[in-house]
């Protein structure tokens, strides 16, 4: 089969500039062949090379005493959690594929991130996701939403991993380009860490997993360009098709194989498929690799070398085996009924050489593909809309006249409402390690002995008791805040994720981020990116949560619909030292005292916490105003104080104030506990906020403002005085604001009082999304 002639038009279709093509010619010392052009196009795409973002990413804090595998080293970062046990975790996007084929796009997003974890030698133990869609009154959005959630549920449930938490936001900016960010965490012993490097000249290279097809062709390149109606139709073949049962077999076989010691290196075939796995493993080891495509299992007839190299068919792994250990590898793959093939060998050439039908169809220096992609320093310019954002004031914005109606409206808003319609489709209890399931501030899992990968027979640690570890995790980003002030929004994303961990009793260990933005060639979008990363970096430094890796997803925009709101999603993982310290958000008992930690209203903020708030958006259809300020020192002091109080055993519940403000947080404390799968336990409270009704403080700011660094906690009546005194010593504003009890949320401010029956609040909050989906 003859390859197409390379013309300027062909180069442009591969998303390469004339300058980049000329650099390829210089690297090779000749014009590339068509397959070589395809290889460069995927490896030099933004998705694989980070050519527009690498200089910005270098500003993240990535070092820490607990880090065992850091950012950029391997497929996922790894952090020590003590006693020789470690956790591997990462978040990645599958946005463009999910916009085109929501079920398969989301399903294979889960599959890809799970492979990133067991590639490191870790057993995957839990998953989270962060999702963004347009408004649910749009039938197309409902179709996308249904498909994405079904895809996540299908893959996770079939593979047997609990999807234990996450977040879902709805905003018109995602109308044409939904975001699907998938997170996975796995566990392993320190000595079980596996590297994705082709070590050992002469070692054979094995392919394991299903045969290669034409699905997922050049998916990495597709994810590195603007999404249009035309590209959506043309690139349906770039969306992979997943098989979670096959992935389970591959996972178990790989973990069993690793225990034999026969593996010299292992890499999954994710973005860019066989291309990425071969050149990256060679580049990491400083070796070369030669493969023969005639030996690669193929499920479609007459596949070209271009198609085989760029296919992103799922559930495939590349494994470098110690020479002489081939029969062990074959035995294990046969035991698990997995297709396998020995397709190549490690060399000392430093080159990736690909043969097909007796010809060399690619001969490229491996490191030129992986480490020497072009790097761009894009032009940046503050977004023009920021002038209007900064000048916005509350003059002319009516204060709330009916707080109960406003509270019901906020609780029924799709972004704030319960996400039970989503998480009821997920198995969040499989493997019996889930401690805090979806519905509280952070998810918590128990890492127990059977969570860890198998050890080789006779290993010194075999049979040694493994202490349980309790790991908390949360994923956060208020993209409206980032849109309105990228730096403050970036800080706030980290602070809220860490605050959610603190509310669960955990201290942060590390973070992974997913930077979702529009086209980086737009100076205003690149300014959003740079400023939000600056905020994320400062936040991670403040909470000692180094970034262990992540993902960049750019070009998230669609024609006339424009760019998404900048969405730098951050997932933070933390450790709870004692299971007795695990804390949830719901009220526990009548008679408990309700305390507010943090300022009720930031009176130094001219918008009193209403800038970018849900109250402005839902009640006044406005997305404007500078968002609440995030003082990282104040936030860190709050978190330290809260975790200290939890460890003293005096905190009965803790819930952070975020979207919707204090009133929404209080309502959620009373309506979010389930005593059965769908049976709520409603427990109200009488709240008196009169002490904060100072001159000039708006009622809507007091009830629904989103001033940062605030947590609602409950304690026994006899502990309230001690807790208030301890907070004062620590420099954290704290006040007694009410008592738990009754079947309503009663709000008092001076002479005014409002009563919100919990049954009504719960009905709107619990059923809102289901009712929207039933349209």
Helix (H) or strand (E) segment spanning residue 525:
helix 523-542
Length of the chain: 775
Considering only CA atoms, which of 246, 268, 262, 238 is closest in space to residue 101? 238
Active site residue 620: no
Structure tokens at 445: 């899992």
Residue found by looking up tokens 């997920």 in the block: 426
How far, in whole angstroms, is CA 359 from its chain's centroid? 42
**Phi, psi (rounded to 5 degrees) for 64:** -175, 155
The single residue of 14, 94, 356, 428 carrying the catalytic annotation is 94
Structure tokens at 651: 């905190």
Give the chain's end-to-end CA distance (angstroms, integer): 52
Active site residue 47: yes
Instruction: Report whether 474 contacts 165 (CB < 8 A).
Output: yes
- Separation of alpha carbons 226 and 232, rounded Å: 10
Structure tokens at 18: 């004339």
Residue 92, CA distances (Å) to 67, 75, 370 in order: 20, 11, 19
- Separation of alpha carbons 194 and 474, rounded Å: 26
- Separation of alpha carbons 401 and 414, rounded Å: 23
DSSP class per residue in 119-160: TTTPEEEEEEEEEEE--TTSHHHHHHHHHHHHHHHHHHHHHT
- Separation of alpha carbons 579 and 599, rounded Å: 30
Helix (H) or strand (E) segment spanning residue 584:
none
Instruction: Report whether 594 contacts 736 (CB < 8 A).
Output: yes
Sheet strands (E) in 163-262: 163-170, 179-189, 204-208
Residues annotated catalytic, as ranges: 47, 94
């Amino acid at each position: 089969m003859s390859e197409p002639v390379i013309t300027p038009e062909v180069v442009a279709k591969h998303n390469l500039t004339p300058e980049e093509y000329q650099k390829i010619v210089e690297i090779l010392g000749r014009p590339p062949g068509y397959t070589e052009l395809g290889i460069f196009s995927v490896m030099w795409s933004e998705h694989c090379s980070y050519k527009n973002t690498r200089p910005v990413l270098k500003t993240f804090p990535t070092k820490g005493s607990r880090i065992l595998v850091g950012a950029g080293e391997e497929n996922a970062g790894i952090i020590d959690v003590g006693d020789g046990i470690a956790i591997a975790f990462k978040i990645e996007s599958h946005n463009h594929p999910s916009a085109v084929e929501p079920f398969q796009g989301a399903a294979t997003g889960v599959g890809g991130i799970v492979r990133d974890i067991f590639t490191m030698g870790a057993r995957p133990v839990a998953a989270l996701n962060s999702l963004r869609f347009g408004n649910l009154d749009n039938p197309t959005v409902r179709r996308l939403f249904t498909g994405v959630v079904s895809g996540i549920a299908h893959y996770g449930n079939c593979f047997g991993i609990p999807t234990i938490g996450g977040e879902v936001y709805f905003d018109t900016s995602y109308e044409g380009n939904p975001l699907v960010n998938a997170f996975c965490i796995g566990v392993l012993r320190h000595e079980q860490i596996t590297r994705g490097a082709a070590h050992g000249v002469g070692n054979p290279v094995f392919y394991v997993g299903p045969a290669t097809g034409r699905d997922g062709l050049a998916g990495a390149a597709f994810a590195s360009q603007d999404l249009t109606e035309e590209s959506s139709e043309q690139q349906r073949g770039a969306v992979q098709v997943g098989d979670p049962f096959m992935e389970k077999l591959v996972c178990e076989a790989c973990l069993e194989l690793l225990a034999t010691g026969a593996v010299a290196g292992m890499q999954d075939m994710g973005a860019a498929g066989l291309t990425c796995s071969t050149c990256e493993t060679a580049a990491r080891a400083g070796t070369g690799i030669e493969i023969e495509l005639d030996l690669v299992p193929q499920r479609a007839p007459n596949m070209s070398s271009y198609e085989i190299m760029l296919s992103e068919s799922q559930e495939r792994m590349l494994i470098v085996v110690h020479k002489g250990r081939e029969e062990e590898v074959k035995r294990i793959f046969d035991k698990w009924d997995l297709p396998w093939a020995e397709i190549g060998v490690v060399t000392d050439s430093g080159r990736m050489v690909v043969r097909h039908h007796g010809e060399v169809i690619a001969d490229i220096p491996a490191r030129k593909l992986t480490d020497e992609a072009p790097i761009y320093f894009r032009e940046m310019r503050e977004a023009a809309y920021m002038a209007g954002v900064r000048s916005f004031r509350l003059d002319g914005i009516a204060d709330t006249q009916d707080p109960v109606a406003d509270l019901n409206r906020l609780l029924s808003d799709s972004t704030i409402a319960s996400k039970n319609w989503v998480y009821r489709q997920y198995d969040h209890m499989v493997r019996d390690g889930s401690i805090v399931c979806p519905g509280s501030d952070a998810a918590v899992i128990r890492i127990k002995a059977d969570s860890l990968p198998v050890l080789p027979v006779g290993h010194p640690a075999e049979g040694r008791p493994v202490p349980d570890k309790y790991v908390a995790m949360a994923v956060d980003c208020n993209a409206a805040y980032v849109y309105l002030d990228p730096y403050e929004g970036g800080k706030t994303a980290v602070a809220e994720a860490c605050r959610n961990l603190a509310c669960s009793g955990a201290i942060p260990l590390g973070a992974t981020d997913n930077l979702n933005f529009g086209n980086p060639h737009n100076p205003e979008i690149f300014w959003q990116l740079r400023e939000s990363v600056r905020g994320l970096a400062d936040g991670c430094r403040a909470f000692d949560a180094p970034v262990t890796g992540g993902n960049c997803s750019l070009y998230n925009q669609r024609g006339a619909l424009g760019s998404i709101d900048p969405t730098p999603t951050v997932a933070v993982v933390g450790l709870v030292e004692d299971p007795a310290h695990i804390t949830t958000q719901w009220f526990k008992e009548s008679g408990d005292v309700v305390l507010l930690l943090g300022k009720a209203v930031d009176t130094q903020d001219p918008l009193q916490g209403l800038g970018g708030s849900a109250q402005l958006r839902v009640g006044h259809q406005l997305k404007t105003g500078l968002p609440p300020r995030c003082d990282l020192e104040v936030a860190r002091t709050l978190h330290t104080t809260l975790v200290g109080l939890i460890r003293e055993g005096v905190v009965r519940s803790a819930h952070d104030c975020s979207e919707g403000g204090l009133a929404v947080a209080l309502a959620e404390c009373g309506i979010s506990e389930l005593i059965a799968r769908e049976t709520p336990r409603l427990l109200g409270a009488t709240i008196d906020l009169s002490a904060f009704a100072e001159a000039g403080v708006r009622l809507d700011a007091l009830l629904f403002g989103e001033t940062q660094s605030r947590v609602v906690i409950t304690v026994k009546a006899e502990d309230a005085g001690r807790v208030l005194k301890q907070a004062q010593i620590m420099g954290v504003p704290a006040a007694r604001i009410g008592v738990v009890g009754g079947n309503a949320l009663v709000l008092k401010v001076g002479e005014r009082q409002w009563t919100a029956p919990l049954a009504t609040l719960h009905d709107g909050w619990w059923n809102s999304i289901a009712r929207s989906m039933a349209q």
